[in-house]
Amino acid sequence: MATITETAKAFFEACETGKGWEACAAYCLPDATFASQSEPLTDVKTLKDYADWMKGLLTFIPNGRYTLKSFATDAERGSVCAYAVFEGTHSAEGGPMAPTGKSTSSDYVYCMEFDGGKIRHMTKIWHAGWAMRELGWMG
């Protein structure tokens, strides 16, 4: 059986490369929840919807990529946190407006909580307003 660290790494890679829920589901409970105090994610309440949101994001930011800065497991609390920087350019159709040609470099953290070896909840900590301004989506 995989450790929560191995499961979290596999989920993170699948999610951040836009593979969607189809690739992420194996690492999560079917009813895994999601939370984020970020404007674009206000209505996203399940990890399934978040994984598919990331898949959609990478259709209009096709060069979207991440640099993993830190990855930590708290075995006592059954959680794993990943800190990364997302970089990409709005260069394809989709999103809130026509392609802006602008880029972002945006810090974020995933806090994944486990139950029975699978992710039961994830919180994304992200200053979305910063990224949205850099991409030219808001003033």
> Could you tell me the residue range of the domain that residue 67 belongs to?
4-134
CB-based contact 44:32 (threshold 8 Å): no
Q: Rounded CA gap, 127 and 139, in Å?
A: 15
Domain total for the chain?
1
Q: How confident is the model at residue 137, as a pLDDT?
A: 93
Question: What's 63's domain CATH number?
Answer: 3.10.450.50
The answer to whether residue 139 is domain-embedded is no
Say if 87 falls within a structural domain.
Answer: yes
DSSP letter, residue 62:
T
Per-residue pLDDT of the chain (139 residues; tens, 9 = 90+): 789 999 999 999 999 999 999 999 999 999 999 999 999 999 999 999 999 999 999 999 999 999 999 999 999 999 999 999 999 999 999 888 999 999 999 999 999 999 999 999 999 999 999 999 999 998 7
